[in-house]
Amino acid sequence: MPGAGGDCAGDGCGGCAGEDCAGCTTDDECGGAGVPYCVAGACVACKSSSDCDGLACLDGFCDEGNVGVCASDAQCAAEDPEWPYCVAGECVECKAAADCFGGATCVDGYCELDVCSSDAQCAQFDPWTPICASGECVECTTDAHCAALDPTYPYCGADLYCGECKTDAQCVGNPNGPTCFDGFCE
């Protein structure tokens, strides 16, 4: 997926760390053609189906495969157990909040977590944002959280996302550069 650890030259990279993609932390970092949203450190085409002009948002990308293809819940469940409900001819993951896990709500057929109450809830909903901080699922609140997620990004920044540095001293000798900017050596 573009945005985290991929080729920095490609569309969808939130920022470069040398030749590798450093990932994104905000939508503003995702200017690539067709991938304007930042989700879990990756630039993607959509956050929900409302971003897809009538298509389904699957794993951050608009997919015409699920639109207008179903006639029943049973048909959807047989095709893909993760999208078991048929709503207006589209296979979706939920019809109501009871169909979602971890306290998520059902919005336009997709489970979304608006407010969290525990780390376990966040980890169940998205393993890349397993920490609940002030009601929001984030990557980290301590450096230890980052080291557990991805040892190449061991520092928890003020934005509660992991990076390769907090200070310029942590970039000394780094081939990407000697200056720490937004969690990455440049």
Query: How high does pLDDT run on average in the chain?
Result: 80
pLDDT at 102 exceeding the cut of 80: no
Question: pLDDT confidence of 168, banded at 50, 70, 90?
Answer: very high
- The pLDDT value recorded for residue 64 is 60
Both 16 and 58 in one domain: the answer is no
Does residue 123 share a domain with residue 166?
A: yes
Q: Which of 37-51, 87-101, 113-127 has the lowest mean pLDDT?
A: 37-51
The arithmetic mean of pLDDT across residues 26-34, rounded, is 75
Strands 37-39 and 20-21: unpaired
Residue 164 is predicted with a pLDDT of 93
Q: How confident is the model at residue 32 (pLDDT cuts 50, 70, 90)?
A: low
The full 3-state SS of 41-81, as one line of letters, equals: CEEECCCCHHHCCCCEEECCEEEHHHCCCCCCHHHHHHHCC
Residue 82 confidence (pLDDT): 85
One-letter amino acid for residue 148 of the chain: A
Per DSSP bridges, beta strands 20-21 and 16-17 are: antiparallel
The answer to whether residue 125 is domain-embedded is: yes
Query: How many CA atoms are closer than 13 Å to the CA of 177, on its beta-carbon side?
Result: 12
Identify whether residues 31 and 68 lie together within a single domain.
no
Do 39 and 89 sit in the same domain of this protein? no
Tell me the pLDDT tens digit for each residue of 117-141: 889 888 888 888 899 998 888 999 9
- Inside any domain, residue 108: no
Full domain range(s) for residue 17: 1-44
Q: Is the pTM of this model over 0.85?
A: no
Looking at the fold, whether 36 and 58 belong to one and the same domain comes out as: no
